[in-house]
Structure 1
């Protein structure tokens, strides 16, 4: 398929989806008198068979599709720090958007753990692929192009995947280019059904030893799978689920010990119980007690390290003084070989 044919299919499949209303959304975010048409992309923002970005995206976080590595097609969002007549100083004009992107990712990187990030330095595609993280200051300079999303082989493009991913990235775009004070993902928690099962995520597979030890996302996924198996054995296969939608995000693992009761488990990969508790406590409290949230009966921070006496005493104090039903559970991966 040519790039124009791919774009036509994206537009067609985006109808009725949030991303299909991008120009209407932009109109509200930017205070425009009228929207720039009904389509996501336009001939003016499509450049041969190379790439395209959404109409109006030159000076903002742009939805971008096009060729990337040889034989690969990319889709996702990007910042272009290449100067033009309409954007002579992109590294200054885009600073606020970059800062808001970083804040969004600091809070919601787990929602995009199946995507990657990389950059181009003018016409040089860097071998810099990594999980989506905050954009470092040294990347905000003339000629850089920073991309976040996915790649597919050009001879087997999944168009529905592209539309699904662009739709998922819409929440990021709305915060980055909007004026909201806090980045949130809209989650409807009214009567969320409890569906037992484990969402399959990327695992170690053929990863190198360094990746298996240092890649936080892979290690988290492996711990999530192990914890799911342990809890399923303890509580039954119909009473354990993963990635359960809370008011402000997804809980790693949830147990239903009995009808009407829930236990939340939040996994962290730090090297001490204290660090796991520090990283996970605020997150699990927000999942549990934010407005419109479903309040669980018990909360668990899960980590590989043992619970040392000081950390145990700290949790006991939280339970006693503030009545927070918080506990720690150790979950240890088999020794890596």
Structure 2
């Protein structure tokens, strides 16, 4: 058995505890099939030495695993390389449009993941999740969204958690389930303690790092998690809590109540409030969402008197449980 075949077998075995493990049942409903297309997420018929995809995925947004040097990639992909089973890419073009529609709305929820592509077997650099540009919707491209793991240290639960997170974009892209089924899944709110590990630095210069908003956001998130865990206990603080396809930066659990935190990296409290206000209200007040008793916007800048007065006006006039917090930034590197 090849290394990748062993990985696929382990994923299949553990997938029974995850939503993505039901993929072939979902595909049966999506495609109105008379029988189950496969009993497993990854079938031996579509797992090869260096890459593999879910059975039936050749004409779909495919759940994909592959070997890239010393790393295992895992996520979803469009393979626009034509073959006997995919004589042209016409069937995938409208699906790419739906994929782009979903990412345009929810790309922030995949900010810890990365995209890259192959063109004529040449790999691109990695970049933040974003819609697929028209120039890449051509025969010969392979476009990937997901993450990597060192082959020597594979965490199968983390792989399956990531694939579960990507399941809604697959369902939306394939477009066959009633919208209500997608919405029901997305409305689910489940608190999970802990801090999601995300990169805090790259191999670039310090200047490049300071200009990288996402890396600074990750630093602030980790620092805030450390501070609040010390105050309320690690079992009561969690990051990247998913609800309605959205990702809440940090949640504190107090009994049956929750506090939602949204982190921004703008240079003034005013800009942080402006950027975060719509998001943090949607987390709590969209129909069917978990209500929070506190909504806290977090930034690196200390609020001045006008900014404080603005928050107080929103509290008093609209009854919003809104606060602004200047983060006590800890250098963690």
| In 2: Cα distance, 1:14 partner to 1:335 partner | 38
Corresponding residue for 2:263?
Answer: 267
Corresponding residue for 1:139?
Answer: 136
| In 1: Cα distance, 2:241 partner to 2:91 partner | 36
| In 1: Cα distance, 2:26 partner to 2:279 partner | 29
Cα distance, 1:261–1:19 mapped onto 2, change above 3 Å: closer
How many Å apart are 1:58 and its aligned residue? 1.4
CA contact (8 A) 1:247 1:291 kept: no
How many Å apart are 1:223 and its aligned residue? 0.9
Give the counterpart of 1:148 among 136, 145, 148: 145
| In 1: Cα distance, 2:79 partner to 2:191 partner | 41
Corresponding residue for 1:41?
Answer: 42
SS at structure 2 position matched to 1:15:
helix
Q: Which runs of 5+ in 1 are unaligned?
A: none
How many Å apart are 1:26 and its aligned residue? 1.0
Corresponding residue for 2:12?
Answer: 11
CA contact (8 A) 1:306 1:330 kept: yes
| In 1: Cα distance, 2:251 partner to 2:108 partner | 17
| RMSD between superposed Cα atoms in Å | 3.5
CA contact (8 A) 1:116 1:150 kept: yes
How many Å apart are 1:145 and its aligned residue? 0.7
1:47-102 CA-to-partner distances (Å, cap 9, x unmatched) read x413121121112110111222x233322110112233444442x43233223323
How many Å apart are 1:40 and its aligned residue? 2.4
SS at structure 2 position matched to 1:131:
coil
Corresponding residue for 1:63?
Answer: 63
Corresponding residue for 1:29?
Answer: 30
SS at structure 1 position matched to 2:36:
coil
TM-score by length of 1: 0.80
| In 2: Cα distance, 1:261 partner to 1:308 partner | 30
How many Å apart are 1:168 and its aligned residue? 3.3
Cα distance, 1:26–1:214 mapped onto 2, change above 3 Å: farther
SS at structure 2 position matched to 1:32:
coil
SS at structure 1 position matched to 2:320:
coil
Corresponding residue for 1:94?
Answer: 92
Give the counterpart of 2:327 among 302, 320, 331: 331
Cα distance, 1:24–1:259 mapped onto 2, change above 3 Å: closer
Cα distance, 1:321–1:100 mapped onto 2, change above 3 Å: farther
Corresponding residue for 1:73?
Answer: 72
SS at structure 2 position matched to 1:169:
helix
Equivalent residue pairs, number: 327
| In 2: Cα distance, 1:238 partner to 1:86 partner | 50
Corresponding residue for 2:221?
Answer: 224
Q: Which 10-residue stretch deviates more, 212-221 or 141-150?
A: 212-221
Cα distance, 1:84–1:236 mapped onto 2, change above 3 Å: closer
